[in-house]
Structure 1
Amino acid sequence: MAIITSNIIFDLVGLVIVVIFILILYFKRAFNYWKSKNVPYVEPIIPWGSLVPPHKRTEPIGDEVARIYRDAKKKGWKHLGFYILNGPIFMTTDLETLKCILTKDFNHFVDRGLIVNEKVEPITGHIFFLGGKKWRNLRTKFTPTFTSGKMRHMFETIADCGVKLEQYILKEISYHEPFDIKDILGNFATDIIGSCAFGLEINSFTDPNNPFRLMGRKIFLRSPVGNLKFLLVSNFPSIGRLLKLKLLDPEVTKFFTKVVIDTVNYREKNNVQRHDFLQLLIDMKNNKDASKQPGDGKCLTINEMVAQCFVFFIAGFETSATTMAFALYELSKHLNIQKKVREEIDRVLRKHNDAVTYDSISEMKYLRQVIDETLRKYPAAPFITRQCVEDYVVPGTDIKIDKGVRVYIPIKGIHYDEEYYKNPEVFDPDRFTDENKQKLKPYAYIPFGEGPRMCIGMRFGIMQSKVGLVSILKNFKVSLNNKTKEPLKFLAASMIPQVEGGIWLNLEKI
């Protein structure tokens, strides 16, 4: 019996050795991809590729991608490759090439290369992840939602949320405690998106632990295991589908599915019509035109509606709250800039009978410069992706990007490039005066991406950020509290910039 057991153990050990040997050969072959194309690349390690393994990560992946960009620029590399697990990634430091990828030759790079598995996880089938024909049809349908006319219509809702923000701060300021400003602005943005997207009154300031806030906090933080699962699904999609791996917390999926289904049922049962994003989706769902086919992005199933509402929520509340928080952080450190912003706010509002309106907000050019500079230093998406859908030769080179290869656009790396921005670590809104913007090299500033897949909700995000900042700055002086740990350190597990320990500010009534 002991001999049989020993033989089994020996056979298992031998099998493991063989499997490891095969995997090593597989990765060595995969890691020869860029060398065979004579493209400079970042050395990989088996099995993680060129990036830091998830369990050893001490900085966000966006910062690591920016560092790869900086190192490549120092070496004089215009084009380079690296690996995530076994997957080859192309990156360029040349803005002309970037223009081709994002705009000029967009048809070669329509997709983002993000995994959509609508059968297993329907909520991933939203406009941000989708590619091809379905993405085009949805984009065409959604674009009118963000016209000037629709923005004006939604402005009253946003302004009302600004009033609630002011009232909350006035109430809390009497306790003389510092404010976790990101948390407060998260409440503000959640109320806006809840109303504009779902037609729901969320009242985050009176109920900061409402389900929308709780779910919002869960979405953007991944554990090392979650990051590993994302890497696995991204690089081995067939394995991900076979194992039916899900990227989102099931509780998040269940919550948003229930909210959308219940709201749609209520509206249809009671014949309720609203001028909001959900109503657009309901109209698409009920589109009975025989030429429309389920799954084409022209008419929607209830699961597809859930997916679009989900991405509208996460893109609308978190990115704007983050931008406003970093803007106030910088203004708390640069009191001269804060004073200049407040003077503009006071001057413009006096012209409009002290009313925060769509027109008065639009006139605040220096405030927009502050937001633009904030987005340069702290882009909500430090990098974005594209996937080659048709073999592509990089103009002026013999480099061929094969179909299926992903491209990383290092937004934060570009935004901190000294070739385009003198003293990039310095916060300077004057970089974005009308005159200086004309001097800025095209594609050197892309916080919302660029080209046909540029962020569809950019104008909405800027508008609500302006309202939030005006609501605070016209009433309160902002200063930095010593609870804020400097220099700022960003959470390694977060997909967007989040500060360890939070951003704590003092607010003083003017």
Structure 2
Amino acid sequence: YGNFRQIHKNKNYSEMLREWTKEFGKTYGYFEGHLPVIVTSDLEFIQEVFIKQSTNFSARKKANLNRKENDPSSNLFTSTKSRWKRMRMIMNPTFSSAKLRELGPILVNCADRLIDVLNKEGDAEINVSQYFKRFTMDSIWNCAFGVDINMQYEKENLYFKKCEEIFLRTLELSFVEILGVLFHEFKELILEYLIIIMSILAKFIDPKKLIPFIWLNEKVQEIVEIREKDKSIKRKDYIQLLIDSRLEDCSIDLFENKKFLSSLEIKANLILFMLAGYETTSTALSYSSHVLATHPDEQLRLHDEISSVFGNDLSLINSDSVQELKYLDWFVKEVLRYYPIGNSVVARRCTKKTTIKGIDIPVDTPIAVDVMSIHFDADLWGPQDPNEFYPPRHEVKRNPLAFMAFGNGPRNCIGMKFALIELKIALVKLIMSYEILPAANKSKELQYEEGVVRFPKNGVKIFLKKRIQ
């Protein structure tokens, strides 16, 4: 196993790297099985990997099980080189300022539903994390697919349950994933055989009892087929953009740099958008609510700023107007600095042998970034103590590589702008509707757990007290 068992057993990957950095310095290595992984918090090293030599690191770190590079179902996250460039070029317009302006009313509507659902609880102590999960999934389905599946109001919603099951499975290693770690040279082959076996079993099993990912895959396929058949449905959403770029599968070269996607790539990227935007944004909202409850001065300052811009007219809230809230912007960035979320995916894989700062890096070597050490480095985030939550530190111009919440370089998170607007709209609605107070007998310190995402282990409990409008 190398050091892999140690990391997985701990279930706090980020803190483990941070401890190793204290012991071994800014750049060192560990083993996943017999695969060496380089870890760094050296910004000069990171600049080489993520920016200056990004063409030599044009792939993500492989998962425990990984698709082949020429797999027809690869998505933006798993694809490499020219295939990744083609996909990114097609998808970039979805996240432009103009497109986000169109999606703004949908996000506002989803945030209004969140407040409506919370209002039904009355003045109450709640674990707010589950509500945020339903809100983010509701936003994704409406914005990406143009489909309203009643995610927030329906307690036993099957779509929500399946997505939650997929997330929970990332916390535990299956037997085949262990094989992928032990025999990393064969992880693509192992996954290929697993998919074949699951596809065969799916023919004999009730669809609702399928492995959640396969169930979700089928549902997305159904939505794509409906949209392709009914030409009268022409919404300006993510799925339409991808369908419009579709080319008949028989005529596409996966590695040609042309503005076309295959039908399998469309489905793969829709699922990626759904899963990547679900737990990350909801976790950021959970952390934000914890800060608001434990830092009443921050909550008051945000409430004052929002009131000064909107007054009592919350109809003015949209994707543009929330960008005018300077302190809210600092607050969100400070939440993401203090509670970084997707740390395990801030990594690259060497695709062409190279040397950085005297270290020879062979092809296929992963480079993982120790995000926590960077985000709490006093030299990067001073003079205010980085262990203190202090939004105004973002007023000062910093080294852009000191903030790794969305990665960096050409392969940074494509949905960053969408996530930030979604976060800000939800927070504005929440702060203007409620006074957010600490739960009774609740410690200020959160307990963490980490799979793909670093999240509060038991959710976040707060007391919501309705504001008198």
**What TM-score do the two structures reach when normalised by structure 2?**
0.88
Instruction: Confirm whether residue 158 of structure 1 aligns to residue 118 of structure 2.
Output: no
**Cα deviation digits, residues 398-426 of structure 1 (max 9, x gap):** 32111121111111221122332343222
Residue of structure 1 in register with 2:13 after alignment: 61
Distance 1:367 1:69 in 2: 32
In the alignment, which residue of structure 2 is the partner of 1:9? none
Q: CA deviation at 1:442?
A: 3.6
Give the one of 446, 459, 463 matched to 1:502. 459
Letter in 2 for 1:142: M
Does the 8 Å contact 1:190/1:212 carry over to 2? no
Q: Do structure 1's residue 168 and structure 2's residue 129 form an aligned pair?
A: no
Using the alignment, how far apart are the partners of 1:270 and 1:483 within structure 2? 55
Secondary structure in 1 aligned to 2:30?
Answer: strand
Q: Please report how far the alpha carbon of residue 197 of structure 1 lies from its aligned counterpart in structure 2 after TM superposition.
A: 1.1
Partners of 1:431 and 1:160 in 2: CA distance: 32
Larger Rg: 1
Quote the Cα distance in structure 2 between the aligned partners of 1:228 and 1:376.
35
Partner of 1:259: 219
- Give, in angstroms, the shift of residue 505 of structure 1: 0.7
- 2:77: which partner in 1? 128
Q: Which residue of 1 aligns with 2:140?
A: 193
**Which amino acid in 2 is paired with 1:58?**
N
Q: CA 1:119–1:78 in structure 2 vs 1: closer, same or farther (change >3 Å)? A: closer
CA contact (8 A) 1:85 1:231 kept: no
* Alpha carbons 1:485, 1:501 under 8 Å: kept: no
Output the CA distance in 2 between the equivalents of 1:54 and 1:451.
Answer: 27
Pick 1 or 2: higher relative contact order, CA cutoff 8 A, min separation 6.
2
The answer to which of 317-326 and 281-290 deviates more is: 281-290
Would you say 1:473 and 2:426 are equivalent positions?
A: no
Cα offset, 1:430, TM superposition: 1.1
Structure 1 segment 101-250 matched on structure 2, within 5 A: 101-115=49-63, 116-117=66-67, 125-173=74-122, 176-222=123-169, 226=173, 229-230=176-177, 232-233=179-180, 236-244=183-191, 246=194
1 CA distance for matches of 2:135 and 2:335? 19
* Superposed displacement of residue 293, structure 1: 2.3
Q: Matches of 1:84 and 1:430 in 2, distance apart?
A: 39
Amino acid corresponding to residue 414 of structure 1 in structure 2: I
Give TM-score, length-normalised by structure 1: 0.81
Are residue 84 (structure 1) and residue 32 (structure 2) matched? yes
Does residue 1:50 correspond to 2:3, yes or no?
Answer: yes
Instruction: Give the match's secondary structure for 2:39.
Output: strand
Q: Residue 85 of structure 1: CA displacement?
A: 1.4
Query: Is contact 2:75–2:272 with CA below 8 Å preserved after alignment?
Result: yes
- Mapped to 2, the partners of 1:152 and 1:225 lie a distance apart of 39
Q: Is the 8 A contact 2:72 2:254 kept in 1?
A: no
**Does residue 385 in structure 1 map to residue 318 in structure 2?**
no
Contact 1:256 1:306 in 2 (8 A): no
- Trace 1:312-331 onto structure 2 (pairs within 5 A): 312-331=273-292
Alignment partners' CA distance in 1, 2:249 and 2:131:
43
User: Which residue does the alignment assign to 1:482?
Assistant: 440
Q: Distance in 2 between matches of 1:118 and 1:215?
A: 26
Equivalent position of 1:20 in the other structure: none
Q: CA deviation at 1:128?
A: 1.2
Q: What is the deviation of 1:450?
A: 0.6
Tell me the amino acid that sits aligned with residue 117 of structure 1: R
The alpha carbon displacement at 1:121 in A equals 8.8
Q: Is the 8 A contact 2:69 2:80 kept in 1?
A: no
Aligned-pair identity (%): 25
Counterpart-to-counterpart distance in 2, 1:286 and 1:150: 23
Q: CA deviation at 1:288?
A: 8.5
Provide the residue aligned with 1:23 in structure 2. Answer: none
Amino acid at match of 1:151: L
Q: Is the 8 A contact 1:51 1:64 kept in 2?
A: no
Amino acid at match of 2:394: F
Residue 448 of structure 1 pairs with residue 395 of structure 2: no
**Where in structure 1 are there 5+ consecutive unaligned residues?**
1-47
Q: Is the 8 A contact 1:388 1:406 kept in 2?
A: yes
Residue 205 of structure 2 aligns with which residue? none
Letter in 2 for 1:409: V
Letter in 2 for 1:87: L
Structure 2 unmatched runs, 5+: 199-208
Equivalents in 1 of 2:242, 2:103: separation in Å?
17
Count of residue pairs the alignment pairs up: 447
One of 236, 240, 244 as aligned partner of 1:275: 236
